[in-house]
Amino acid sequence: MLVSFVSTVSATYAQKADSTAPVVLHAARLLNVDTGVMSEPGEVLVEGDRIRAVGQSVEHPQGARFIDLGDTTLLPGLIDAHVHLFLHPGAEDLQTVEESVPWRVILAEQAAKADLLAGFTAERDMGTEGAGSADTAVRNAIDQGFIPGPRLRISGNAIDILGGHEDANRYNPAQHVLSNADYANSAEQIVEVMRSQHKEGSDFAKIYETGPDKMIAGDLHSPYQYTAAQLTAAVDEAHRLGGVAAVHAMGEPGTLFAAQAGVASIDHATQLSETTMRLMREKQIFAVPTFTIFEYFAHHRSSAAEAEREGALLDYKIREFKKQITAGVPFAVGSDVGPFPHGTQGRELELMVEYGMKPLTVLQADMINGAKLLGWEGQIGLLKPGYYADVIAVPGNPLSDITAVERVTFVMKGGLIVRQ
C-alpha cells in the first residue's frame, strides 16, 4: 500500500505544473457538513487549488476532467488536531534516545504521507518529542510541494517543567538524558522558550499542564505543572506572536487553570469540573478527547497489570466524556496518533460516536471546529466556493455508518489528487 501510494503522490507532484485543467468530482452523495444536508448526487468543481462550485450538478467547463467516484460520499478533508509525526509504535522514550533526529525526520515524512493517504488533509503536530524544530522542515517541505502531507500547524518541542511530564525521569541522572520537551519553570521562562520556538518556525505553543496521572479509588489524580497565571502569560505571548497556546491536561485543577487562562484547546481533557466546563463553553475552548490512544494503550501494554490500569482509565474517561457532552463542551477531534500507527486514526471519530455523540456532530467537531482550532476557518473544513479543494470520498453514507471515514477511497488536497 505504501509503495503504491508513494508512486501515486510522486507522479502527482511531478505533474503539478501541468494540472491546470478544471476538475469535476461526481459522487452519489455530498455532505454539507455545516447544515447536515445531503445532496444526492453531489458534484464539486475545482479550479486550481480552490473549489469553484458545489451542488447536485455544477458547470462542466470545456476541457474539464470528469471523475465519477460512484457510490461514495464527498466530504471535506479530515482534520486531526492532535498528532505526533515524530513518533511511531514502540517504546516512546527509547525512540527519542536511540533514534537520530535525521532518522526521525525521515519517519515523520512517511507518517505525513500515511495520514494524507487516510484522508487527513490538515493536522496539528503536538510536539516533536525531543526533535526540536525539525517539524518546521517537514511543514515547509510539504508547503513547497517537495513531499506529500497534510497542511500542518506545528509546535516544535512541547514546553514542560523540570522533572515534569516528558522529562527523562526514569533514567540514570548521571547519563544526562535530555527531556523530550523544552524546560520552562516560570512565566518568564515560558515566554523565553516560546520566543525561541517561534524564531525556529513554530505556529503555536504546546504546554504540558498535568502529569503523572494516577487512578486512586476510582478517581483520577493528575497534578498540575503550571498555575493559571503562568498559563495566562503563555496565552498572552502566543497571541502577541500571532498564534495560540494548547495544553496537555488530563484533570483538575490543571484543566481549570487552562480554562481560566483561555488556552485554545485542552487536549485529553479527561476530568473537567462543572466550573471548567462552563468556562470552556463561554470561551469556546475545545476539548480534544484523544480516545484512540487510550484504547490502544489499554490493549498494547507489556503486562496485564498495566493493561488493567489503562483500561480503568479509559472507562473513567468514557464516563466523564458523557458528562461533557451533556454540559455542552465544544469538541475538536484529535487522536494522538504516533504511538499507534499513522493513517489509522479515523478510529477516533468512530469512538466519539460510540461513546455518545451523533455522527454529524462528530464530523462538525472534526471539520468545522478543527478548522477554527488550526486557524484556517473559512479556508478548510467545508465544501464551499472559495475554500481550498481539500476533498475526500468515503464509501456509503457516514451519517449512517461513521466507520466510512476509516475507508477513504479518494483524496484531493489543494486541487491535487493524491489518492484515487
- The string of pLDDT tens digits covering residues 10-57 is 444 444 534 579 999 999 999 999 999 999 999 999 999 999 999 999
Band of pLDDT at residue 307, cut at 50, 70 and 90 = confident
- Cβ-proximal residues to 299 (8 Å cutoff; 6+ apart), any chain: 307
- Mean pLDDT value across the chain: 94
- Range in 6-15, 203-212, 232-241, 404-413 with the lowest mean pLDDT: 6-15
Mind listing the pLDDT tens digit for each residue in 75-110? 999 999 999 999 999 988 899 999 999 999 999 999
CA separation for the pair 287, 327 (Å, rounded): 12
Run of H or E residues at 158:
strand 158-160
Question: In the prediction, which pLDDT does 16 show?
Answer: 53
Question: In the prediction, which pLDDT does 2 show?
Answer: 41
Band of pLDDT at residue 252, cut at 50, 70 and 90 = very high
Angle at alpha carbon of residue 207, lines to 261 and 303, rounded to 5°: 125
Please answer whether residues 276 and 295 qualify as being in contact, where contact means their C-beta atoms are separated by less than 8 angstroms: no
391 has a pLDDT exceeding 70:
yes
Please give the backbone phi and psi of residue 200, each rounded to the nearest 5 degrees, phi first: -90, 0
Question: In the prediction, which pLDDT does 19 show?
Answer: 58
The residue count for the chain: 420
Kindly provide the residue ranges of all beta strands, DSSP E only, lying in 294-420, ordered along the sequence: 391-395, 410-413, 416-419
Question: In the prediction, which pLDDT does 301 show?
Answer: 78
All domains of the chain, ordered by start, with CATH?
2-77+381-419 (2.30.40.10), 78-373 (3.20.20.140)
Is the alpha carbon torsion for 348, 349, 351, 352 positive or negative? positive
Average pLDDT over residues 392-401: 98
Question: In the prediction, which pLDDT does 92 show?
Answer: 84
303: buried, middle or exposed (CB in 10 Å: 19+, 13-18, 0-12)? exposed
Please answer whether residues 346 and 117 qualify as being in contact, where contact means their C-beta atoms are separated by less than 8 angstroms: no
CA separation for the pair 384, 380 (Å, rounded): 9
Write out the three cell numbers for 258: 487552562
Please answer whether residues 272 and 280 qualify as being in contact, where contact means their C-beta atoms are separated by less than 8 angstroms: yes
Q: Give residue 263's Cα distance to chain centre.
A: 16
CA separation for the pair 250, 258 (Å, rounded): 11
Kindly provide the residue ranges of all beta strands, DSSP E only, lying in 13-89, ordered along the sequence: 23-27, 29-32, 37-39, 42-47, 50-55, 65-68, 72-76, 78-83
Average pLDDT over residues 140-160: 98
The identity of residue 57, as a single letter, is S
Question: In the prediction, which pLDDT does 10 show?
Answer: 43
Question: In the prediction, which pLDDT does 132 show?
Answer: 96
Q: List Cα–Cα distances, 352 to 21, 25, 331, 372, in angstroms.
A: 39, 29, 10, 19
Residue 189: which of 227, 223, 234, 154 has the closest Cα?
Answer: 234
Residue 64: which of 43, 51, 42, 45 has the closest Cα?
Answer: 45
Question: In the prediction, which pLDDT does 303 show?
Answer: 85
Question: In the prediction, which pLDDT does 121 show?
Answer: 98
Average pLDDT over residues 357-380: 98
329 has a pLDDT exceeding 70:
yes
CA-based diameter of the chain, in Å? 71
Is the alpha carbon torsion for 80, 84, 89, 93 positive or negative? negative
- Cβ-proximal residues to 94 (8 Å cutoff; 6+ apart), any chain: none
- Range in 111-125, 179-193, 301-315 with the lowest mean pLDDT: 301-315
Question: In the prediction, which pLDDT does 9 show?
Answer: 55
With cell 481549570, the residue in question is 256
Mind listing the pLDDT tens digit for each residue in 52-67? 999 999 999 999 999 9
Question: In the prediction, which pLDDT does 102 show?
Answer: 97
Q: At what angle do helices 347-354 and 291-299 cross, to 10 degrees?
A: 90
Q: What SS3 class is residue 29?
A: strand
Write out the three cell numbers for 241: 506572536
Average pLDDT over residues 186-207: 98
CA separation for the pair 57, 1 (Å, rounded): 33
Question: In the prediction, which pLDDT does 1 show?
Answer: 37
